[in-house]
A and B are shown apart, each in its own frame.
Chain A
Amino acid sequence: ELKVEQNPLFLSMQEGKNYTIYCNYSTTSDRLYWYRQDPGKSLESLFVLLSNGAVKQEGRLMASLDTKARLSTLHITAAVHDLSATYFCAVEENSGYALNFGKGTSLLVTP
């Protein structure tokens, strides 16, 4: 059974600071996804990481994937309030049929 663990689950950070969210998973996979969810809203796709060493950046967010370590990171640079949301990583099993989600990281960026 594929397990996906995110940490931290809750994160309060000041504007302007940097931080990293970690996503570990338990079995082999080459496909990892990051989503953002605002309160009461649906999930929005942020990044799709498809191979070892993949790195993608969008604004203040950068995601990377290390398939050998079974680890993905979501790095936040110079946080701003608009980044406050819950971030999920999801891993696709090699059987390729569905996503296994982490529990999510609730991020609050304060002035």
Chain B
Amino acid sequence: DADVTQTPRNRITKTGKRIMLECSQTKGHDRMYWYRQDPGLGLRLIYYSFDVKDINKGEISDGYSVSRQAQAKFSLSLESAIPNQTALYFCATSDPRRYQETQYFGPGTRLLVL
């Protein structure tokens, strides 16, 4: 089983709709992140969380909100979706206690807003 899972994997929605993307991890990591990837732009950070009670905005948080329901779950919501939120969304986790810490990425959610 994958260590970081995302649901749904693909989603089509209409402008103005509220949608939620979910991320779960079995790695036992405290830190979780949401990124979006647009063609030719790399990944940009939306929100990050260092633990259940610590949630922070990233570079491009406008139009998004998050919820850290438990150590293992971090959800991203689009309150009122707009077409320029069409992108590939990745959840990631990391463990700062490990010296050679890297971030582990989920499989991604491809979102299309019509």
Q: Which residues of A are in contact with B by a Cβ distance under 8 Å?
A: 4, 9, 33, 35, 41-45, 48, 50, 88, 90, 96-104
The A/B interface has a contact count, at CB < 8 Å, of 48
In the assembled complex, which residues on chain B have CB atoms less than 8 Å from the CB atom of A102? 42
Q: Which residues of B are in contact with A by a Cβ distance under 8 Å?
A: 33, 40-45, 48, 50, 56, 58, 90, 96, 99-108
In the assembled complex, which residues on chain B have CB atoms less than 8 Å from the CB atom of A104? 40, 42
In the assembled complex, which residues on chain A have CB atoms less than 8 Å from the CB atom of B48? 97-98
Q: Chain A's interface: helix, strand, loop or mixed, by majority? A: strand
A-B pairs with beta carbons under 8 Å apart, 27 shown = A33-B103, A42-B90, A42-B106, A43-B43, A43-B90, A43-B105, A44-B105, A45-B102, A45-B104, A48-B100, A48-B102, A50-B99, A88-B42, A88-B43, A90-B43, A97-B50, A98-B33, A98-B45, A98-B58, A99-B45, A99-B103, A100-B45, A101-B42, A102-B42, A103-B40, A103-B41, A104-B42
CB nearest neighbor in B for A31: B101
